[in-house]
Amino acid sequence: MDKELKELLTHARARIGSVNTTKDLDQVYIEIFGKSGEFTTLTKQLGQVPKSKRPKIGQLLNEAKKEIEQHLEKKRSALSAGRSATPIDITAPGEKTKIGHLHLVSQAIEEIVSIFKQLGFSLQSYPEVEWDWYAFETLNMPKNHPARDDWETFFIKSKPHPNLGNQVLTPHTSNGQVREMLRVKTPPIRMLNIARCYRRQIDISHTPMFHQFEGLLVDKNVSIPDLKGTFDYFTTRFFGPERVTRLRQHHFRFTEPSFEVDVTCGVCMGRGCRFCKSGWVELGGSGMVHPRVLRAGKIDPEVYSGFAFGWGIERTIAMKTNIGDIRLLYQNDIRFLEQF
């Protein structure tokens, strides 16, 4: 073993002296002291040496290890000194720090707010944990309405309010309608309410938590053409002039007449696909504010009229960016998020 140890020392000195980078030096270290390294292999053979010679061989192994480590450390210091001696150009431009960007939902919210501000709408904020009174009762929804079922809405386990009822995670931003009327008291009203909403739905076009923006306009002589003109203005600026919208007659308790607002699918451009199935995708509900809702907001429906609409922001993004599954927005996959 004495001969093998001397050969190892000779080879180690030569290899250490020939390397030019710390990376190569690390590789030499592994080849000598790694799990299958040359020195490690010799150490494992110590058990085969006669007991009388083991102390001497063990001492030689320790001395060889110490010598090799000293050569390695000396070479590492020399390589480091060589790097530090490299001149630095202090006039060179610095490297910009990489920073992130707003999430796609936040980007859409900023764009939506900007568009509606051009029409005179002001951004308001109303509770995310809401009373039954504002979420349902003032919106003309009877006690047996499906939306007030435990399988449709997330109810908060809390003591009911004697006048306002139970607490819920608001299923829509329409809870802000009557609150805004009571706040302003006298029209005109142009409100934009953006908030997180919650419903028991999940598939490629629904998530249990989603963002919605609510528009409310109340004034004298407001009519359906005003509603349609607002939609045309928004869709032209948000989706582009090539996308087409339509009003489809529907029924909502808090508007009369009521409409579903559809836009041609951005994935298939109206041909029909897995996401839209028919070429059209629903943006959300809309209609003329029901007289009972106006009365709940203490506004005379004989003097004032208005329209309201509520659309999901995630679905609106999907229709603009050709995302076939809105659940991608909340999976935090950096490969997806960096595309926007």
Binding-site positions for Mg(2+) read 256
Collapsed DSSP state (helix, strand, coil) of residue 7 = helix
Q: How far apart are CA 144 and CA 21, in angstroms?
A: 77
Q: List beta partners, residue 87.
A: none
Alpha-carbon gap, residue 77 to 79, rounded angstroms: 5
Phi-psi region of 329 (alpha: psi -120 to 50; beta: other; left: phi over 0): alpha
Contact partners, residue 325, CB within 8 Å, separation at least 6:
204, 205, 275
Three-state secondary-structure class, residue 103: coil
Q: Would you state the structure tokens that stand for residue 336, as one six-digit string? A: 């997806």
CA dihedral 60, 65, 70, 76 (to 10 degrees): 160
Annotated binding site: 256
